Amino acid sequence: MNKEFSVVGKPVIREDGIDKITGRAKFADDYKFPGMLHAVMLRIPSAHAKINSIDFSAVESDESLVSIITADDVHGAKKVGMIKNDQPIFCNEKVVTPGDVLAMLVGESEAKLHELVKKIKVDFTPLPLLIDPRKSLEPDAVLIHPEEGSNLIFHHPLRKGNIEKGFAESDFVLEQTYSTQLIEHSYLEPEAVVAIPLETSLGVKVIGSIQNPFTARRFVAEVLDFPLSKVRIQQAHLGGSFGGKDDIMCILSARAAIAAMKINRPVKIRYTREESILESYKRHPYVLNYKVGYNKSGKIQAMKIDILADGGAYASMSPFVTWRTVVQATGPYEIENVHTDVRAVYTNNPYTGAMRGFGSPQPIFAQESLMDEIAVRLSMTPDEIRKVNGYKSGSITATGQKLQNHEVNLLTVLETAEENTDFRKKWVENKKDKSQLIEYDFSSPIINETQFISPDRLIKKGIGLAVSFRGCSLGAEGTDAASAYISIQNDGSVYLDCGLAENGQGLRTTYSIIAAEVFGISIDQIIYLELDTGITPDSGPTVASRATLMGGGAVKATAEILRKRLEELMRNEWNLKSDDEIVFQNNQVLITNHQSPITFKDICKLAYQRGVSLATIGWYKSPSVGWDEHVGQGDAYFTYVYGCQVAEVRVNIATGEIYVDKVTAVHDAGKVINMLGAMGQVYGGVTQGAGYGIFEEVTTDKGFIRELNFDQYTIPTSKDIGEIDPIFVEGKDIYGPWGAKSLGEPTLELTASAISNAVYNAVGKRFFKLPLNLEEVLLSKKLRPEDLKRGSK
Amino acid sequence: MEVRFKLNGKEEEVTTEPYLRLIDLLRDYFNLTGTKEGCGVGECGACTVLINGRAVNSCLVLAGQIEGSEILTIEGLANGEILDPLQKNFLLHGAIQCGFCTPGMVLSASALLDKNPDPTEEEIKDAIAGNLCRCTGYKQIINAVKETAKEINSASKPF
Rounded Cα distance, A166 and A308, in Å: 24
Rounded Cα distance, B4 and A238, in Å: 34
Contact assessment for residue A138 and residue A132, using Cβ atoms and an 8 Å cutoff: no
Report DSSP state, residue A768.
-
Give me the amino acid identity at B140: Q
Q: Is the pLDDT of residue A246 over 70?
A: yes
Distance of CA B64 to the CA centre of its chain: 21
Query: Looking at beta carbons, which residues of chain B come within 8 Å of A506?
Result: 97
Confidence of residue A594 (pLDDT cuts 50, 70, 90): confident
Rounded Cα distance, A106 and A261, in Å: 12
pLDDT digits (tens, 9 = 90+) for B91-108: 999 999 999 999 999 999
End-to-end CA distance of chain A: 75
Q: Is the pLDDT of residue B33 over 60?
A: yes
Lowest mean pLDDT across A40-44, A778-782, B103-107: A778-782
For chain A, domain boundaries = 17-25+481-621, 31-127+191-270, 286-474+629-779
Rounded Cα distance, A385 and A362, in Å: 21
Contact assessment for residue B106 and residue B90, using Cβ atoms and an 8 Å cutoff: yes
Rounded Cα distance, A207 and B70, in Å: 34
Q: Chain B window 39-78: which residues touch A at a Cβ cutoff of 8 Å?
A: 39-41, 43-44, 46, 73-75, 77-78
Q: Is the pLDDT of residue B44 over 90?
A: yes
User: For the purposes of burial, counting CB atoms within 10 Å of the CB of A199, is it exposed (0-12), middle (13-18) or buried (19 or more)?
Assistant: exposed
Q: What percent of chain A has pLDDT over 70?
A: 96
- CATH code of A17-25+481-621, in short, is 3.30.365.10
Which pLDDT score, from 0 to 100, does residue B47 have? 98
Element counts in chain A: helices (H) and strands (E): 19, 30
Average pLDDT over residues A510-536: 95
- Answer whether B99 sits within 8 Å of A504, measured CB to CB: yes
Q: Is the pLDDT of residue A599 over 70?
A: yes
Which pLDDT score, from 0 to 100, does residue A444 have? 65
**CATH number for the domain including B127?**
1.10.150.120
Same structural domain for residues B71 and B89? no
Query: Looking at beta carbons, which residues of chain A come within 8 Å of B78?
Result: 22
A31-127+191-270 matches A286-474+629-779 in fold = no
Same structural domain for residues B130 and B105? yes
Lowest mean pLDDT across A155-169, A389-403, A466-480: A466-480
Q: Is the pLDDT of residue A704 over 70?
A: yes
Listed residue (A62, A106, A412, A82) closest to A214, CA to CA: A82
Contact assessment for residue A643 and residue A467, using Cβ atoms and an 8 Å cutoff: yes
A31-127+191-270 fold: Aldehyde Oxidoreductase; domain 3 (3.90.1170)
Q: Is the pLDDT of residue A531 over 60?
A: yes
Which pLDDT score, from 0 to 100, does residue A172 have? 98
Same structural domain for residues B103 and B151? yes
Which pLDDT score, from 0 to 100, does residue A283 have? 98
pLDDT digits (tens, 9 = 90+) for A436-461: 676 666 666 666 666 667 777 889 99
- Structural domain ending residue among the three candidates B48, B76, B104: B76
**CATH number for the domain including B42?**
3.10.20.30
Which pLDDT score, from 0 to 100, does residue A792 have? 41
**CATH number, domain A286-474+629-779, options 1.20.1260.10, 1.10.10.60, 3.90.1150.10, 3.30.365.10:** 3.30.365.10
pTM: 0.97
DSSP string, A704-751: EES--STTTS----TTTEEEEEEEE----BSSSGGGB---TTHHHHTH
Instruction: Tell me which of A200 and A80 has the higher pLDDT.
Output: A80
Average pLDDT over residues A582-597: 90
- Answer whether A684 sits within 8 Å of B134, measured CB to CB: yes
3-state helix vs strand vs coil in chain A, percent to 5: 30, 25, 45
- Mean model confidence pLDDT for chain A: 95
Same structural domain for residues B36 and B63? yes
- Answer whether B136 sits within 8 Å of A684, measured CB to CB: yes
Same structural domain for residues B72 and B7? yes
Rounded Cα distance, A565 and A562, in Å: 5
- Structural domain ending residue among the three candidates B16, B43, B76: B76
Which pLDDT score, from 0 to 100, does residue A467 have? 98
How close does chain A come to B88, measured CA to CA in Å? 8
- Structural domain ending residue among the three candidates B17, B43, B76: B76
Average pLDDT over residues A12-25: 97
Report DSSP state, residue B27.
I
Which pLDDT score, from 0 to 100, does residue A440 have? 64
- Answer whether A188 sits within 8 Å of B132, measured CB to CB: yes
Same structural domain for residues B6 and B70? yes
pLDDT digits (tens, 9 = 90+) for A602-651: 999 999 999 999 999 999 999 999 999 999 999 999 999 999 999 999 99
Domain, as residue range, for B113? 85-156
Rounded Cα distance, A339 and A398, in Å: 9
Which pLDDT score, from 0 to 100, does residue A592 have? 84
B82 touches chain A (CB under 8 A): no
Residue of A237, A278, A718, A725 to mutate, interface with B, max B Cβ within 10 Å: A718
B143 touches chain A (CB under 8 A): no
Same structural domain for residues B58 and B106? no
How close does chain B come to A717, measured CA to CA in Å? 6
Which pLDDT score, from 0 to 100, does residue A787 have? 54
Confidence of residue A434 (pLDDT cuts 50, 70, 90): low
Contact assessment for residue A472 and residue A741, using Cβ atoms and an 8 Å cutoff: yes
pLDDT digits (tens, 9 = 90+) for A71-126: 999 999 999 999 999 999 999 999 999 999 999 999 999 999 999 999 999 999 99
Average pLDDT over residues A385-404: 98
Listed residue (A747, A740, A726, A733) closest to A409, CA to CA: A733
Listed residue (A214, A193, A148) closest to A532, CA to CA: A214
Contact assessment for residue B95 and residue B49, using Cβ atoms and an 8 Å cutoff: no
- How many domains does chain B divide into? 2
Query: Looking at beta carbons, which residues of chain A come within 8 Å of B130?
Result: 717
Contact assessment for residue A581 and residue A592, using Cβ atoms and an 8 Å cutoff: yes
Which of helix, strand or coil describes residue B149? helix
DSSP string, A602-627: HHHHHHHHTT---EEEEEEEPPP---
Name the residue facing B142 among A22, A688, A718 (closest C-beta). A718
End-to-end CA distance of chain B: 53
Q: Phi-psi category of A283—alpha, beta or left, where left has phi over 0 and alpha has psi -120 to 50?
A: beta
pLDDT digits (tens, 9 = 90+) for A281-309: 999 999 999 999 999 999 999 999 999 99
Q: Is the pLDDT of residue A419 over 60?
A: yes
Which pLDDT score, from 0 to 100, does residue A453 have? 74
pLDDT digits (tens, 9 = 90+) for B55-70: 999 999 999 999 999 9
Confidence of residue A1 (pLDDT cuts 50, 70, 90): very low
Same structural domain for residues B150 and B110? yes
